[in-house]
A = this chain, B = another copy of it.
Amino acid sequence: MRSRNEPVKWPAAGVRVTMEDVAREAGVSRALVSLVMRDSPKVGVKRRERVLAVAERLGYRPNAMARGLASRRTRTVGVLLNELHNPFYAEVLDGVDEEAERLGYRILIASAGARTRGEERAVEAFLEYRTDGIVLVGPRLSASAITGLAEAVPVVVVARVMRSSMVDSVANDDYQGVRAVVGHLTALGHRRIAHIDGGSGAGASTRRAAYARAMREHGCDGGRRVIAGDYTAQAGARAVERMLADGDMPTAIFAANDFVAAGAIDRLDAEGLRVPEDVSVVGYDDVFLAGLRGLSLTTVNQPRPEMGRLALAALVERIEEGRSDALHVRLTPELVVRSSTARPRGSALRLRA
């Protein structure tokens, strides 16, 4: 008796069943079994079923390594996620995953972790496994390392702008996103808008440049200030401390992402500064956190799963068709206004005195 859910069956310990075994047991040639395992159309229904039945009974499972070695392709792509703790990446992965399944590819996930040169090492592993392609999500690798890599294997970069003609890329248009943020803030009356940046993180420089440009466009060049950060809540908190120490608190803060914003708000709150009454705060990404009423963060939403889907599709196209020109997709992000932003109301500095 089995449970009603399809019984999960795994081969028994140490028993290494090969194609040969299946062939012998089914009374056919090994080649025939190979064809069946690959769903070749040139196998009769009867034989196919018999082979499949025997394989099932024996607990046969194709050896991916042998298959990859012999066929010289793995139908597997490596996905390197910058950071597994940030749900942003998980959501991009959802899209990659979905599209990969649709296209019949398998994915191998890796992240840099805390190691030094973690990304290089992960890429190295993908290369040794001979994945057919690599998806880099928010990589911190240098642009030259990425284009170099692209010479060895098809590569697509997500959530970071690339200009190389060797690698495809899918990202949101930071200029549009940041312009919407600054526009929203200036419309509320803010002039002094600081930016806590993402340091050397993926896309941080683009966002920083977009901020500078948008401030200029809105005639707020004088109220510009960039505080160094790194895409974490701790960075947000530290940045607030720095501003406080400098006695230079702006009326609004544009954080590099929602985590930085959360950390900043947390710290502001701890110092007795109210958001948005004393300081308005805007994030980026619209992760789950931002929507909680406790935070209710004004932020910018990027279509993450869609980015993942497009990236994987582009990669597979390059793998299979050998496309040579680069595809650079820029999706339009959307400002999501919640309650962490409001009209400025006098200088927050007074509260410190």
Residues of A in contact with B (beta carbons under 8 Å apart): 3, 5-6, 8-13, 61-66, 68-69, 74, 84-85, 87, 89-91, 93-94, 97-98, 101, 106, 108-111, 113-115, 117, 120, 123-125, 127-130, 141-142, 144-145, 148-149, 151-152, 233, 262, 265-266, 269-270, 288-289, 292-295
Contact = CB atoms under 8 A, between A and B. Distances in A.
13 contacts: A8-B141, A10-B123, A61-B127, A64-B129, A84-B89, A84-B93, A85-B91, A85-B288, A97-B114, A97-B115, A98-B113, A262-B294, A270-B293
Contact of A269 (B5, B124, B148, B293): B293
Contacts of A61: 124, 127-128
Contacts of A66: 65, 69
Given A84-B93, A111-B109, A148-B9, A269 B294 contact: yes
Nearest to A110: B109
Nearest to A292: B266
A10 B69 contact: no
Nearest to A100: B113
Contact of A152 (B13, B65, B106, B151): B13
Say how many copies of this protein the assembly contains: 2
Contacts of A120: 8
Contacts of A288: 85, 233
Nearest to A12: B151
